[in-house]
Amino acid sequence: QKEVEQDPGPLSVPEGAIVSLNCTYSNSAFQYFMWYRQYSRKGPELLMYTYSSGNKEDGRFTAQVDKSSKYISLFIRDSQPSDSATYLCAMKEDDMRFGAGTRLTVKP
Protein backbone atom coordinates (compact mmCIF):
# COMPACT_ATOMS: atom_id res chain seq x y z
CA GLN A 1 0.00 0.00 0.00
CA LYS A 2 1.32 3.44 -0.94
CA GLU A 3 1.67 5.97 1.85
CA VAL A 4 -0.43 8.49 -0.13
CA GLU A 5 -3.12 7.38 -2.57
CA GLN A 6 -4.51 9.68 -5.24
CA ASP A 7 -6.66 8.77 -8.22
CA PRO A 8 -4.70 9.84 -11.32
CA GLY A 9 -7.86 10.44 -13.34
CA PRO A 10 -8.07 11.91 -15.90
CA LEU A 11 -10.98 14.04 -14.79
CA SER A 12 -12.89 16.13 -17.32
CA VAL A 13 -15.57 18.66 -16.33
CA PRO A 14 -17.46 21.49 -18.06
CA GLU A 15 -16.60 25.07 -17.28
CA GLY A 16 -18.37 26.29 -14.14
CA ALA A 17 -18.56 22.86 -12.50
CA ILE A 18 -17.51 22.16 -8.93
CA VAL A 19 -14.46 19.91 -8.87
CA SER A 20 -13.60 17.59 -6.01
CA LEU A 21 -10.09 16.13 -5.76
CA ASN A 22 -9.15 13.69 -3.02
CA CYS A 23 -6.30 11.84 -1.38
CA THR A 24 -6.10 9.22 1.33
CA TYR A 25 -3.07 8.41 3.42
CA SER A 26 -1.89 5.82 5.88
CA ASN A 27 0.61 7.68 8.10
CA SER A 28 -1.21 9.27 11.03
CA ALA A 29 1.90 11.33 11.87
CA PHE A 30 1.38 13.69 8.92
CA GLN A 31 0.69 17.20 10.20
CA TYR A 32 1.01 19.42 7.11
CA PHE A 33 -1.17 18.90 4.06
CA MET A 34 -0.57 20.63 0.74
CA TRP A 35 -2.06 20.86 -2.71
CA TYR A 36 0.21 21.67 -5.63
CA ARG A 37 -0.87 22.59 -9.14
CA GLN A 38 1.32 21.53 -12.04
CA TYR A 39 0.77 22.76 -15.57
CA SER A 40 1.99 20.60 -18.42
CA ARG A 41 5.80 20.42 -18.64
CA LYS A 42 6.23 22.80 -15.70
CA GLY A 43 7.24 22.47 -12.06
CA PRO A 44 4.55 22.21 -9.35
CA GLU A 45 3.46 25.36 -7.55
CA LEU A 46 1.91 25.46 -4.10
CA LEU A 47 -1.80 26.14 -4.20
CA MET A 48 -2.83 25.69 -0.58
CA TYR A 49 -1.56 24.21 2.64
CA THR A 50 -3.31 23.26 5.86
CA TYR A 51 -1.96 22.40 9.26
CA SER A 52 -3.74 19.51 10.99
CA SER A 53 -7.50 19.11 10.52
CA GLY A 54 -10.03 21.61 9.27
CA ASN A 55 -10.94 23.71 6.28
CA LYS A 56 -9.13 26.49 4.50
CA GLU A 57 -10.59 28.68 1.79
CA ASP A 58 -8.81 30.85 -0.77
CA GLY A 59 -10.99 32.35 -3.46
CA ARG A 60 -12.51 29.53 -5.51
CA PHE A 61 -10.41 26.89 -3.73
CA THR A 62 -11.22 25.08 -0.48
CA ALA A 63 -8.98 22.54 1.18
CA GLN A 64 -10.34 20.10 3.75
CA VAL A 65 -8.45 17.75 6.04
CA ASP A 66 -10.11 14.94 8.00
CA LYS A 67 -7.37 13.35 10.08
CA SER A 68 -9.75 10.86 11.69
CA SER A 69 -10.47 9.39 8.27
CA LYS A 70 -6.99 10.10 6.87
CA TYR A 71 -8.62 11.89 3.94
CA ILE A 72 -7.98 15.27 2.34
CA SER A 73 -9.90 17.11 -0.36
CA LEU A 74 -9.54 20.09 -2.64
CA PHE A 75 -12.69 21.72 -4.00
CA ILE A 76 -12.65 24.11 -6.95
CA ARG A 77 -15.77 26.21 -7.43
CA ASP A 78 -16.77 27.77 -10.74
CA SER A 79 -13.99 25.88 -12.52
CA GLN A 80 -12.27 27.62 -15.43
CA PRO A 81 -10.34 26.28 -18.43
CA SER A 82 -7.24 27.85 -16.84
CA ASP A 83 -7.66 25.38 -13.95
CA SER A 84 -6.75 22.56 -16.33
CA ALA A 85 -3.63 21.03 -14.79
CA THR A 86 -2.42 18.13 -12.68
CA TYR A 87 -3.16 18.53 -8.97
CA LEU A 88 -0.79 16.85 -6.52
CA CYS A 89 -1.55 16.33 -2.88
CA ALA A 90 1.41 16.29 -0.50
CA MET A 91 1.82 15.58 3.18
CA LYS A 92 4.59 16.13 5.64
CA GLU A 93 5.78 15.19 9.09
CA ASP A 94 9.54 15.01 8.71
CA ASP A 95 9.64 14.08 5.04
CA MET A 96 7.33 15.20 2.26
CA ARG A 97 5.22 12.56 0.54
CA PHE A 98 3.39 13.22 -2.71
CA GLY A 99 0.36 11.65 -4.31
CA ALA A 100 0.50 10.54 -7.94
CA GLY A 101 -1.44 13.61 -9.11
CA THR A 102 -4.89 13.94 -10.73
CA ARG A 103 -5.03 15.34 -14.24
CA LEU A 104 -7.95 17.77 -14.57
CA THR A 105 -9.36 19.21 -17.79
CA VAL A 106 -12.00 21.95 -17.67
CA LYS A 107 -13.76 22.23 -21.01
CA PRO A 108 -15.16 25.60 -22.20
Partner 1 sequence: DGGITQSPKYLFRKEGQNVTLSCEQNLNHDAMYWYRQDPGQGLRLIYYSQIVNDFQKGDIAEGYSVSREKKESFPLTVTSAQKNPTAFYLCASSKTGVSYNEQFFGPGTRLTVL
Residues lying near partner 1 in the complex (CB under 8 A) are found at 4, 6, 8, 32, 34, 36, 41-46, 49, 51, 88, 90, 92, 95-96, 98-101
Mapped onto helix, strand or coil, the DSSP state of residue 82 is helix
In the complex, minimum distance from the CB of residue 91 to partner 1, in angstroms, rounded to a whole number? 11
Q: What type of residue is 63?
A: A
Question: What is the C-alpha to C-alpha distance for residues 76 and 104, in angstroms, rounded to an integer?
Answer: 11
In the complex, minimum distance from the CB of residue 81 to partner 1, in angstroms, rounded to a whole number? 22
In the complex, minimum distance from the CB of residue 98 to partner 1, in angstroms, rounded to a whole number? 4
- Whichever of 8 and 81 has its CB closer to partner 1, that residue is 8
- Whichever of 17 and 92 has its CB closer to partner 1, that residue is 92
In the complex, minimum distance from the CB of residue 15 to partner 1, in angstroms, rounded to a whole number? 26
Distance (Å) of CA 59 to CA 78, 83, 95: 10, 13, 29
Question: What is the C-alpha to C-alpha distance for residues 88 and 71, in angstroms, rounded to an integer?
Answer: 14
Angle among Cα 68, 33, 3 to the nearest 5 degrees reads 70
